Amino acid sequence: MERPRALISVWDKTGIEGLATSLNSMDWEIISTGGTASKLRDAGIEVTDVSEVTGHPEVFDGRVKTLHPAVHGGILVRRDSDDDMHTLSDLGYAGIDLVCVNLYPFEETAAREPPASDQELIEMIDIGGPTMVRSAAKNHADVIIVTAPEQYEPVLRALSESNGRPSGVGLEMRRELALSAFQSTAAYDSSVYNELSSRYSEKTIPSRIHVSSGEGRELRYGENPHQPASFFPASGAPSGLSAAVQHGGKPLSYNNYLDLDAALRLARSLKQTCDFANHSCVVIKHTNPCGASVADSQVSAWENALASDPESAFGCVIAFDQVVGKETAEAIGKHFFECMIAPGYEPEALDLLAESKNRRMLALEPLGEYSEEPTIRQVQGGWLSQAQGPPSIDWENARSVTTRSLDAEGLKLARFGISVIAEVQSNAIILVSKTGSGFATVGIGPGQTSRVEAVRIASRRAGDRAKGAMMVSDAFFPFRDSIDTSNEIGISSVVQPGGSIRDDEVIEAANEFGMAMLFTGTRLFRH
């Protein structure tokens, strides 16, 4: 029987000496390339250079080395086809029974800071590697395809149980390895397209969507216990929630991730749009803000955010835009929250927060910016994509439409309110007020089919705090009834996009009640 042959050519050389040594001990011939061959020889392993197999040297700084019929014929030949085997023999080639390949680190290079040059990135686009992987995966019935170090042990174990014969790796394992291989090349190609598209194309929304992710993390369950769920981190360097370090508590759930995402978006938005404040705090429940505040101190930001709706804040998710201090942890005390995310925690603060069971504290340093980027959302039969980021308001051209105008402090309050309402499910109304140390929500009416009902809900939650507050709407008022209702609870000013056919009617009502009304010109629906 001919010696089985393995072709090994890897960028990530973790565990490669052990793999090759074990194959050698089972009388496998090792074929290799470039740096991999050198490393194996340094470890005392007998290696045949791929140039000996092809009869051609590696050229163009290694751009071409395995793209040859001697390699791909050996991989793709069908062992159960006499014609294939005769052709292979006539050509003077031999079969390759195992291919171990992992790819150039394109994603890592793309994520580098400072950014890699276009040329550096281009050279990290692997050609021969994916071609061999796809060839071996296509012919997995005859060829064992290995693409990750964690696969070495189970493959070697299967081979050792058959005295080194390739047939020891059964069809089920071969299929699993092939699927993993196709997954790796698909993710790789998506990463290349996505990165080059971001560099070369001016389109905000691409003409096709290609999603690439890291290994999925199985979650306990989805939105409900009967729904299986996983979290898939974006490929490349960890970012956002995938980069956050968890302290304490059980693993995050599907709903935790959704609420943390909402908290992180708003915290980032407030940090950018309310740069006149030192601290911000966000309280999220079921992906909606139930309280938000910007303030001179972190303790005040927390207390004012909680005061917005302390009942709804039971079992909430909290976000801070600065490192959480001991005093803030003391102020939070025994308040029941599920998760918290912040740039970090003072050691004493973390100790205090961890005293209550099952709290999860996530650190994300730096918190990062809320930048406009395409988002993807699945619907039945396809996907929707849109650009999403913080509210883009041209404040220079926002116009006062009533007799009474907002002063400088009122405009700051409007900026705060707009940042919050952009993250509230529509139809939405929020009430915001000046506090002793900054600004805060005092009533939030999210996700209503009727805008006036959203006003009523926000007013009920605000109670007496509605007097003198500003009302912010994510869309125009179709009728004056919302203004009439807001007057009954003491609202002093209104911020809205404008654009209704009844704008004149709505403005007239505001003037009648002595309210200031500002048109931003930008609708902020969130469905």
Instruction: Identify whether 357 is a catalytic site residue.
Output: no
**E strands of 59-179, at which residues?**
98-101, 144-146
Token pair 């159960």 is found at: 80
Interatomic CA distance for residues 333 and 363, integer angstroms: 19
What are the backbone dihedrals phi and psi of residue 93, each rounded to the nearest 5 degrees, phi first? -105, 165
342, 320 contact by CB (below 8 A): yes
- Residues 146/147/151/155 CA torsion (nearest 10 deg): 0
Give me the residue label for tokens 């029974």: 97
Contact 452, 431 (CB under 8 A): no
The Cα diameter of the chain in Å comes to 98
Q: Catalytic: 286?
A: yes
From the number of C-beta atoms within 10 Å of its C-beta (0-12, 13-18, 19+), residue 444 rates as: buried
Cα gap 484→101, rounded to integer Å = 70
Residue of 13, 56, 247, 286 marked catalytic:
286
Residue 264 has φ and ψ, to the nearest 5°, of -65, -40
Tell me which of 13, 56, 138, 210 is the catalytic residue.
138
130-143 in b/e burial notation, b at 16+ Cβ within 10 A? Answer: bbbbbbbbbbbebb
Q: Which helix (H) or strand (E) holds 184?
A: helix 171-200
Q: Determine the number of helices (DSSP H) and then strands (DSSP E) in the chain.
A: 18, 21
What is the secondary structure of 480-508 as a DSSP string?
Answer: THHHHHHHHTT--EEEE----TTHHHHHH
Distant-in-sequence, close-in-space partners of 238: CB < 8 Å, separation ≥ 6: none
- Beta strand ranges found along 274-355 (DSSP E): 279-285, 288-295, 316-320, 337-342
Which active-site residues does the annotation give?
A: 138, 286
